Amino acid sequence: MSDRVNCYRCKHLYITWDERFPYGCQAMNFKSKIFPSQEVYNASGHACLKFSLKPGLSKEKK
């Protein structure tokens, strides 16, 4: 789907030390087993609204 977000390109993604929940989102303040954007999509059916492109990256997907 084209409306899904790649968390690796988002400035809010962080990797946690928690083996059970390795991915975290600083914007929404939660940790997850899967990418936070996928968690948001599963819960709401919509792309993450907090996505913010990391500085230095272009909007083109590579």
- Amino acid in position 26: Q
Neighbours of 30 (CB within 10 A): 13
**pLDDT tens digit sequence for 9-32:** 999 999 999 999 999 999 999 999
E strand residue ranges, the chain: 13-15, 23-25, 30-32
Q: Is the pLDDT of residue 62 over 90?
A: no
Domain limits of the chain? Answer: 7-44
Maximum Cα interatomic distance, the chain, rounded to a whole number of Å: 32
Examine the pLDDT at 50 and tell me if it is beyond 70: yes
CA distance 23 to 19: 9
